[in-house]
Amino acid sequence: MKKLALASALLFAFSAHAQLHKNIDSVADYAVNTYQNAQVHTLTNLVAFPTVNKDSISAPQNPDFINFKSVLKMKAAELGFDYQDLGYTVLIGMGKQADKVTVVTHGDVQPANASKWKQSPFIIDTSEPGKLVGRGTEDDKGAIATALYAMKAIKDKGIELDNRIELMIYLAEESDWGPLTEFMKTYEQPKYAVTIDASYPVVVAEKGWSLIAPTFNATSKQTGVYVSDVAGGAFKSQIPEDASLVLHNASTAVIDSLKAKAKTLSEVEFNFEEQGKSLKITVKGMSAHSSEPESGVNAIAHLSELFKDIALENNSDGQLIKFVNQLIGLDIHGKQFGNIAYEHEFMGPMSVAPTVIERDGNALTLAINARRPVGKDESVLKQQINSAINEWETANNVTLTKVETIIGTPMLLDNAPHAQKLLDIFKHFTGDEQADFVSIGGGTNAKLFDNAVSFGPSMPGKRYTGHSEHEFITLEQLELNLRMYTAMMIELGNM
C-alpha cells in the first residue's frame, strides 16, 4: 500500500508539473502575442535617453537619467506596478508578498562614438532586417522592456504568486558600483535573485573585473626614430577599435618595412598618411566587450605589434608601445606578462587586454582590463603583476610614474537553489537538451546578492554586441526572452 501511495504521489506531482508547464507555455504565448510590439516601442523610448554617466554630474542629478526615470515611472503606472525612485536605484514591483524575487538590471550605458553608427546610437535603427540597432539594446535596456511586459502578462492572467516580483534598475553599473554597494547594506536580500545582464543558459560564475594601469612620463632627444601622439580606445571595458600615432625621423627603408608588415597583420586595416616630414599611422580593428576579447580585434595591440622590431626613442609614447609589445603582444591571456597567466577548469583562462590610452600633457596612462577566474589568491596575483612590471622597467631603463592596480573578485556558485529551474526553462523553450551552466568573463551586479545567477539576454555561441559600436538585439531574441522571462517569473514566483 505504501508503494502504491508513493507511486500515486509521484504521478500526481508529474501531472501537476506537466500542467504547470502547459500553463506557462500559454502565458508565454500570450505575452508574445500581446506585447511583442509594445516591448519594441518601450525599448525605442528607453534607448532615446543617452544615459551615459559623466564625472561632472551624478546620475540622480543628470537630466538624461531624470527623464529616463520619468518614462519608467509612467510605464510602471500604466502597467499597474508600484514604483520607487531611490536615487541611483529604481524598483518596480508586482505584489505585496513578504518574500520576493529580485530581477536585476541596469539603465546606464557605455559611451558611443556617433561617427561609427549609421545614425545616432540613441535612435533605434531598423535598416538591418530583423535587428534593432542602438546603444543599450542588448546591454541592458532591452532586458528592462522585456521584464516589464513579462510582469504585465502574468498580471493580466491573474496568476497568483507566492513571491513578489521586483525589478531593480541600477543607474551606474557601467561606471560606479559604490552607490549600489551602499544601497545593498539596507536592501533586504530576496528569496531569489536573477540578473538579466549577461547570457544564457544560466551563468553561475563570473570573472573578476581587474585593471592594470601604468603611467609613462618621459621625454627623449628626438634625434632618432620616435613616435608621438599615441592614442587609442574609447573606454576601459571595450576592446579598442581605433588606434593611431605619428612617426618621426623614419627612413624610407623603415617605412617600407612597416608597410610590408602591415600587410601581414590582415585582421586590421592600416592607413599611412604623410604629415609634412612625419607619417601618421592609424589602425582600425573591431570593438567588442572586453570580457570577450576574442570577439574583437584589438587596435592598440596591433599598432604596437607593427613596431615590434623598430628601435624607438624612450619617450612616453615609445615606452607605451614597448610595454604593450613586450608584456602583452597579440596574446589575450597574459602569457607574456610574467607569471600572471592561469586558468580554471570551469571558468577558463584569465584574459588581458589593453583597452584605452589616456593623455595628460606628456603623461600617458594605459588601461589594461583583465578578467580573472578563481584559482589564484589576490595577493599572489598582485605580486606577480608588480614583479613583471619591475623587471620590465629594469630591462628597458624605464621608471614609471605610477601603476594603478585593481584586482576584482571572481564569483563561482555551485549551490544557487534556483539555477536548475532556470536551466530547465532554457531547455524547454530552446529545445537544447545539452545546455548547461556557464561562466562568463563579464561581471554583473549578481556579485552583490546572495546566490544570484544570470539568465540572458544574449544567446550562447553568438557574439555579444554590448559595448561594441554596433550594438543590437534581434526581434527574434526579444520574443524568446519574453517567453523565458515570463516563465522565469512564474516558476520562481511560486518556488
For residue 488, give its domain range.
24-207+411-494
Are 39 and 124 found together in one domain? yes
Report whether pLDDT(227) > 70.
yes
The CATH number for 256's domain is 3.30.70.360
pTM for this structure?
0.87
Are 64 and 85 found together in one domain? yes
Q: To which residue does cell 535587428 refer?
A: 131
Are 419 and 366 found together in one domain? no
Are 170 and 235 found together in one domain? no
The CATH number for 443's domain is 3.40.630.10
Q: Which of 352, 383, 407 is the last residue of a domain?
A: 407
Are 439 and 354 found together in one domain? no
Name, in order, each residue with C-beta under 8 angstroms of 278's C-beta and a sequence gap of 6 or more: 246, 247, 248
Q: Which of 373, 407, 441 is the last residue of a domain?
A: 407
Are 347 and 300 found together in one domain? yes
- CA torsion angle 111 117 119 123 (round to 10): -40
Q: What is the pLDDT of residues 143-152, one digit of tens each?
A: 999 999 999 9
159-186 per-residue burial string, b: 16 or more CB within 10 A, e: under 16:
bebebbbbbbbbbbbbbbbebbeebeee
Could you give the number of structural domains in the chain? Answer: 2
Q: What pLDDT is attached to residue 17?
A: 44
Task: For residues 30 and 38, give the distance between their C-alpha atoms in angstroms, rounded to a whole number.
Answer: 13
In-domain check, residue 328: yes
In-domain check, residue 8: no
Task: Over range 133-148, report the average pLDDT.
Answer: 97
How many CB atoms sit inside 10 A of residue 294's CB?
Answer: 13
In-domain check, residue 92: yes
Task: Over range 58-80, report the average pLDDT.
Answer: 98
Are 237 and 150 found together in one domain? no
In-domain check, residue 6: no
Q: What is the pLDDT of residues 243-253, one digit of tens each?
A: 999 999 999 99
Cell matching residue 343: 586558468
In-domain check, residue 421: yes
Query: Which secondary structure element, helix H or strand E, spans residue 240, and what is its range?
Result: none
For the chain, the average pLDDT equals: 94
Cell matching residue 128: 538591418
Are 203 and 216 found together in one domain? no
In-domain check, residue 418: yes
Is the peptide bond prior to 377 cis by the omega test (within 30 degrees of 0)?
no
Are 121 and 32 found together in one domain? yes
Task: Over range 67-90, report the average pLDDT.
Answer: 98
Are 330 and 477 found together in one domain? no
Is the peptide bond prior to 457 cis by the omega test (within 30 degrees of 0)?
yes
* Main-chain phi, psi angles of 347, to 5 degrees: -80, -15
Q: Which of 341, 373, 407 is the last residue of a domain?
A: 407
Task: For residues 348 and 346, give the distance between their C-alpha atoms in angstroms, rounded to a whole number.
Answer: 6
Q: What is the pLDDT of residues 358-403, one digit of tens each?
A: 999 999 999 999 999 999 999 999 999 999 999 999 999 999 999 9
Confidence of residue 41 (pLDDT cuts 50, 70, 90): very high
Q: What is the CA radius of gyration of the chain?
A: 25
State how beta strands 164-170 and 100-106 pair.
parallel
Cell matching residue 479: 520574443
Are 394 and 464 found together in one domain? no
Answer whether 116's CB lies under 8 Å from 241's CB: yes
CA angle in degrees (0–180, nearest 5) for 214-272-267: 70
Answer whether 142's CB lies under 8 Å from 119's CB: no
Are 216 and 357 found together in one domain? yes
In-domain check, residue 3: no
Q: What pLDDT is attached to residue 22?
A: 66
Confidence of residue 21 (pLDDT cuts 50, 70, 90): low
In-domain check, residue 12: no
